[in-house]
Structure 1
């Protein structure tokens, strides 16, 4: 049996011109996770993968630095997040939607949910990526973890929640519901057998305790 650990990126720069970089808090979260893993005796994995987003690599860098691991990760495009901005633009062209908001977290996540559900139902014309293609590349990332005793991956909430949905054989609409629950720098674990993969842990935050929760617990 192999252990696959999939970590959501730490807090990115929500509302900034460039979302795809960690915030100052995000850097602290990633280092806190690496330190917690080291303190708890978690063994460094045999292989490490990151997606192509900057926030994936920066989260890996913080975790590895605090843990004391000097390794170079492999890059797998299956771990990339779906293009929500592109999907929203295509959704707006497909039907009349309210004017998008910037900086309002609640409105942003309402738009995200509505757009992803429409995408899953093939109701968005000319999306930047079809939902079927997204599912396929996430499945490829899951398969890339096979053959090693332990693998760690750094990704985003959409791709990770899709992994979980596939492993649980849940309906497609469960992906966005899982995604909206996922905390920054959260740890998700799978056990991979010869013929099946099982969910072993969801949305865990070992770097958060009662003393630092007010700062470290974030969702966006």
Structure 2
């Protein structure tokens, strides 16, 4: 067993309002990924295994990081993000909750969407809350049980759900965690005899230089 380091993808197309339009890195997102890769190589951080989801933004971020690893990147659809835009449209149609247009709007919108989703109150949701939680739990425990350190490029919702799995977060805490996660941030899970422990959260050492503070993005 070994620790799992999850990385949120680089900044995507933040002006998009649908899943397909969002799923590509912005120029800054590509830069964030390259900076993280340089940081890992400069610090001698080598991984036995590298994984990513099958979304374009995951694969572009993994390619930009180009993490030191002897094996090719493994793509796993269980690491794909929840279908937020699709569910947000359903919630607007069914519950009259408008899709937010700024970060402050997301702060109020996300916990309400998560609550409706968990309670099965979004008719036609692409995936149930329970199914999303189960696939994240399955892949997290599977990776933690593997040999050698693993680097995993995924999305903020998956990372937040992994935190719920490890720390039994309630819905408000799950939403707050999702909103806090920066692009290309590092999150480490350490297997212990009693379960998984979160030992690093939202670290962006590759963006700590003064001339990179502008790159500490959330959306």
Q: TM-score, normalised by structure 2?
A: 0.90
Distance 1:70 1:198 in 2: 27
Q: 1:68-79 to 2 correspondence within 5 Å? A: 71-79=71-79
Residue number in structure 1 paired with 2:146: 147
- How many angstroms apart in 1 are the aligned matches of 2:84 and 2:107? 11
Tell me how far apart the structure 2 counterparts of residues 172 and 149 of structure 1 sit (CA, whole Å). Answer: 32
Q: Deviations over 1:6-44 (max 9, x none)?
A: 00001111114721111000111000001111111212x
Deviations 1:82-120 (A, max 9, x none): 00111112212322234x355x34334533342123212
- Which residue does 1:12 correspond to in 2? 12
Cα distance in 1, alignment partners of residues 147 and 22 from structure 2: 33
Give the deviation of 1:182 after TM superposition.
Answer: 0.5
Name the counterpart of 1:161.
160
The runs of 5 or more residues in structure 2 that have no matched partner are: none
Partner of 1:197: 196
Secondary structure, aligned partner of 1:159? helix
Secondary structure at 2:206 match in 1: coil
Q: 1:70 to 1:25 in 2, by over 3 A?
A: farther
> What is the TM-score of this pair, normalised by structure 1?
0.89
User: 3-state SS of the aligned residue for 2:123?
Assistant: coil
Determine the structure 2 residue equivalent to 1:51: 53
> What is residue 29 of structure 1 aligned with on the other side?
32
What is the number of equivalent residue pairs in this alignment? 215
CA contact (8 A) 1:51 1:75 kept: yes
Which structure dedicates a bigger proportion of its chain to helix? Answer: 2
Segments of structure 1 that go 5 or more residues without pairing to the other structure are none
2:135 maps to 137
2:218 is aligned to 219
Cα distance in 2, alignment partners of residues 112 and 169 from structure 1: 18
| Deviates further, 83-92 or 199-208 | 83-92
Q: CA RMSD in A?
A: 2.0
